[in-house]
Amino acid sequence: MAEGSEADQDKSMKKLLLIVNCVLLCIGTSGGPLIMRLYFLRGGHRVWLSSFLETAGFPVMLLPLAVSYFRRRRIAAAAGASAKPSLVSMKPPLLLFSAVIGILTGLDDYLYAYGVARLPVSTSALIIASQLAFTALFAFLLVKQKFTAYSVNAVVLLTAGAGVLALHTSGDRPAGESTKDYVMGFLMTVVAAALYGFVLPLVEWVYKKTQQPITYSLVMEIQFVMCFFASLFCFIGMIINKDFKVIPREAMESEHGEANYYIVLVGNAIVWQAFFLGAIGVIFCGSSLLSGILIAVLLPVTEVLAVIFYKEKFQAEKGVSLFLSIWGFVSYFYGDIKHAREMKKKKKSEIETVLPQYS
Ligand SMILES: Nc1ncnc2[nH]cnc12
């Protein structure tokens, strides 16, 4: 009985964590591109600075990590343990993997920020939707992700949605931008989508392969280390590119005032933390494919917000793309709900066939 209630408690805790991480991912996926683009729209030009801000908010993770540590200490004391739990749970192999994923993320942040600097948010959001096809492919190769007809349909539709845009981009180029810049922005965003589409299943692979049992506290430590190394990578880029010299000048020349300039930078750092923690948190509670699906699902929201707030054009091909994306995610969730119902039915009939032996 006690074992059963403990398992139930674990299940509800995981459900709660899934909801919290989905909310974080929603905030990050829809708000991140908008606030990053805001920096460029208000006269900012530094791509390395922008990519650095995607992960530089990692010190905020110290707060939930401290809460988690004191909770572990309280539980250990209540259980009568004489030794205090260690401050850091991460062991060297996991630290190494997190650092490698962090450096890949830093590179990806640069590619992504390069695209956001040169493309309308609605366009870059739709290209990023193609990330799901890469996530699906790498999830299949790395973690043997199983697919249903519905999830394959979702991946195809969401990717086709991004493809429609790629075929017809004339008239989308921001005023004063050269075709070369636009095309480079487009290509860099496609590479960013492919790279992050690889990073998500890689995180799931690390969760599965590590010798350490993964807890949510450990997920937060991974986030901290990953973001630290990604920021370090971009920080070096900022030094080489002399961003630190330019930032005070950009702030002073900002038409919205110096204080607002810095507020946008801090806002970037915080909103993007929600994105990265949400992404790896959803992998912990669900899978990398679910994380990829949620990111793709939320991109139409970003597009609509960009059209509302930044008055970006909404041409017919964006409408078709949006329709395909919505169809894709409805298909995925319909399949998911159907699968969950079937599993429940199967479990129930299994219990019913086993129980008569004991009655
Ligand atoms: N660096 C990044 N940030 C947000 N979304 C992304 N998709 C691919 N790369 C990304």
Cβ–ligand 1 distance for 303 under 6 Å, the answer: no
ipTM of the complex: 0.95
Alpha-carbon dihedral angle through residues 247, 250, 255, 256, given to the nearest 10 degrees: 0
Judge if the beta carbon of residue 68 lies within 6 A of ligand 1. no
Torsion of CA 298, 300, 301, 305, to 10 degrees: 140
Q: What pLDDT is stored for residue 241 in this prediction?
A: 96
Lowest mean pLDDT of 167-171, 245-249, 340-344, name the range.
167-171
Pocket test for ligand 1, best of 35, 104, 107, 108 (most atoms within 8 A of CB): 108
Question: Is residue 113 within 6 Å of ligand 1 at its C-beta?
Answer: no
pLDDT, tens digit, for every residue of 245-293?
Answer: 999 999 999 988 999 999 999 999 999 999 999 999 999 999 999 999 8
Give residue-wise pLDDT tens across range 308-331: 888 887 778 778 878 887 888 788
Question: How many CB atoms sit inside 10 A of residue 36's CB?
Answer: 28
Quick one: pLDDT at residue 1?
A: 43
pTM of the model: 0.86
Q: Is 194 in the pocket of ligand 1 (CB under 6 A)?
A: no
Whether 230 shows a pLDDT value over 60: the answer reads: yes
Alpha-carbon torsion (46, 189, 224, 265), positive or negative: positive
Residue 126 near residue 190, CB atoms below 8 Å? no
Q: Is the CB of 109 under 6 A from ligand 1?
A: yes
Say yes or no: CB of residue 218 within 6 Å of ligand 1: no
Q: Which residue has tokens 């939320």?
A: 298
Q: Ligand 1 pocket: which of 36, 124, 196 to mutate (most atoms <8 Å of CB)?
A: 196
Alpha helix segments (H runs only) across the chain: 2-41, 47-55, 62-78, 92-118, 121-128, 131-143, 149-167, 179-209, 216-240, 243-253, 258-285, 288-310, 316-354
Q: How many A from CA of 93 to the centre of ligand 1?
A: 26
pLDDT band at 174 (very low <50, low <70, confident <90, very high): confident
17 closest CA partner among 28, 25, 5 = 25
